[in-house]
Amino acid sequence: MRRALGLVGALGVALAPFRPDPALAAEHTAWDFSFDSIEGGPMPLARWRGRPLLVVNTASFCGFTGQYAGLQALHERYEARGLVVIGVPSNDFRQEREDNAAIKQFCEVEFGVEFPLATLSRVTGRDAHPFYRWAAAASGPPRWNFHKYLVDRAGRIAGAWGSRTTPDSPELIGAIEAALAAPAPSA
């Protein structure tokens, strides 16, 4: 019997096949969205208008959690050139703490994370954060933790990589270098 909803995900949940929605993706740029900062208060992405962003859904109890170290290394390597790494903790795959203070402490103590972190957010499904619904329309939703979206200087999705693509992978580094080398859009 054929599965009407597509493939079965890692948790045994039926996943609908991805269908890009270019019209929805074109309606906005990343600068239209805001997260809540894990420190408290709003974290509008427009704060970094004209700078490339690497937005990553994260989790503390995942086989890929060690990627926090690589994300911190990217932050240290490229921050002065304009890259902003943003971690978005999510429990969508049931591998994250339920408390923002505990998440923040874990990230700082275990990995020395200094890049911006959002509060615990949904990244998949109907209740996904608006940024993630927009990014999914352009290039597909996260299938697991540590899915990476690269946003270019114009606020558009420049690329997306799954969990198995590490922060130091040549493919991701090349895309970051290209995004940094691109001229800032005229106002």
Residues designated as active site: 62
Q: Which residue type does 73 have?
A: A
Structure tokens at 155: 């606020």
Q: For residue 58, what is the enclosing H or E element?
A: strand 53-58
The residue written with tokens 């923040």 in the block is 104
Structure tokens at 81: 């050139």
User: Which 3 state secondary structure label does DSSP give 43?
Assistant: strand
Query: Which residue from 55, 64, 75, 59 is spatially nearest to 134, judged by alpha carbons?
Result: 55
